[in-house]
Amino acid sequence: MASPLIGFLRRRLLQVVPVVFGIALLNFVILQAAPGDIVDVLAGEAGAATPEYMAQLRASFGLDQPLWVQFRQYLLNVATLDLGYSFRQNMPVFDLIVARMPATLLLMGAAIVFALALGVLLGVLSAIRVRSWLDDVLSVFVLVTYAMPTFWLGLMAIVLFSARLGWLPSGGMVDLGASHTGLALAWDVARHALLPALTLSTFYLAVYTKLVRTAMLELYGADFIRTARAKGAGELRITLAHALRNALLPLVTMVGYQVASLLSGAVLVESVFNWPGIGRLAFEAVMARDFNLLLGILLLSSILVTLINVLVDLLYAWLDPRVQLAGGGSA
């Protein structure tokens, strides 16, 4: 198992390289197309600047070089993880983003777990009670949830669960007054994470409910289910061990597709709940017009998506014995 795994990882990570190159190119194009450059920004900060001084600054940043030289320099910087400096936050962009990464990963992970667990549960319920009132209620729920803007749902959840009922904190990641440690800290973070994670998960929850329902209904007609039934397996065993296990495969594929969209959703949820992740950082960067930081977030979050997709491929191979790591590579 060890050597095909390493081979798979090496092949898959090599595929990431052109993607990163493409993302860097996209970033560079946006940077070039943007009105004004970093020197204009700096000059604006400093107040008055003579044209001679600005020309000198441009030369020191290499902005007077031909485009391809600038792009080569930009690629070199990206390769050495140098994404520039955020003058607003007084920190290198890369360090800023990496410091915020764990909070976002925690939020995304919790949201995916909620969405998968509840989505599978509701999807199975609606499939085994197909065309019942429960199925109808769940399909209306799915439709409305599709249409609901995540950030609006978050605001309404704050009104209901923190302001009116007072059950959960309305924002942040920890209780700043109480300096908890150990288990108490974990409990505190969990309490703070519950509302944002549930908010972020609702859209995906609806998608998975619908997906699992469709997949289960299709599988109920499949030959191997009929065989299992003929062997005398109970309905519960058929549902869980035969149908559900196979219904999970399209689900994992879907999760892989949705990593990017989940990150997009995190930006909004984090700014609603003041969750200190890269989404909140992006919001702060927008407010401060800190474009360097914003482009760094775009670059690193895209790379994060490709890396998570590698993990999803591994998970797929583990779930479906027919997929072999030594084979084509991408699932």
Partner 1 sequence: MSRVWNETGIAQAGPDSALRRTAARALEFGRLVLASRAAVLGLLLLLAVVAVATLGRLWFPGDPWEMGGPPMLWPGEDPAHPLGTDFMGRDLATGLVSGAGVSLLIGLVSTLISAFVGVTIGALAGYYRGWVDAVLLRVIELFQTVPNFVLAVVLVAIFKPSVATAVFAIGIVSWPPTARLVRSEFLQLREREFVLAGRTIGMGHARLILTQILPNALPPVVVVSTLSIAHAIQTEAALAFLGLGDPNVMSWGTIIGIGREQVVDAWYICGLPGVAIIVTVLGFSLLGEGLNDALNPHLRRR
Q: Which of 276, 104, 97, 98 is nearest to 197 (CA)?
A: 104
Residue 311 gets the label, from left (phi > 0), alpha (psi -120 to 50) or beta, of alpha
The b-or-e profile of 233-247 (16+ CB within 10 A means b, else e) is eeeeebbeebbbebb
Does residue 306 touch partner 1 according to CB under 8 A?
A: yes
Q: Pick one of 301, 313, 316, 331: the residue that binds partner 1 (CB under 8 A).
A: 301
Phi, psi of 85 (to 5 degrees): -120, 135
**Which of residues 187 and 257 has its CB atom nearest to partner 1 in the complex?**
257
Q: Pick one of 11, 125, 283, 319: the residue that binds partner 1 (CB under 8 A).
A: 283
Does residue 54 touch partner 1 according to CB under 8 A?
A: no
**What are the tokens at 51?**
């044209």
Does residue 23 touch partner 1 according to CB under 8 A?
A: yes
Rule CB under 8 A: which of 151-180 touch partner 1? 151-152, 155-156, 158-159, 163, 170
CA distances from 131 to 126, 127, 278 (A): 8, 9, 43
Q: Pick one of 291, 312, 317, 325: the residue that binds partner 1 (CB under 8 A).
A: 291
3-class secondary structure, 92 = strand
Residue 183 gets the label, from left (phi > 0), alpha (psi -120 to 50) or beta, of alpha
**Which of residues 72 and 289 has its CB atom nearest to partner 1 in the complex?**
289
Contact mark string toward partner 1, 132..151, x via CB under 8 A:
-----------xx-xxxxxx
Q: How far is the CB of 278 from partner 1 (least distance, A)?
A: 9
**What are the tokens at 20?**
């990163």
Rule CB under 8 A: which of 193-232 touch partner 1? 214, 217
Q: Pick one of 97, 112, 271, 316: the residue that binds partner 1 (CB under 8 A).
A: 271
* Cα angle 90, 93, 94; round to 5: 135
Residues that bind partner 1 (CB under 8 A): 18-19, 22-23, 26, 30, 33-35, 143-144, 146-152, 155-156, 158-159, 163, 170, 214, 217, 257, 260-261, 263-265, 267-268, 271, 282-283, 285-287, 289, 291, 294-295, 297-298, 301-302, 305-306, 309
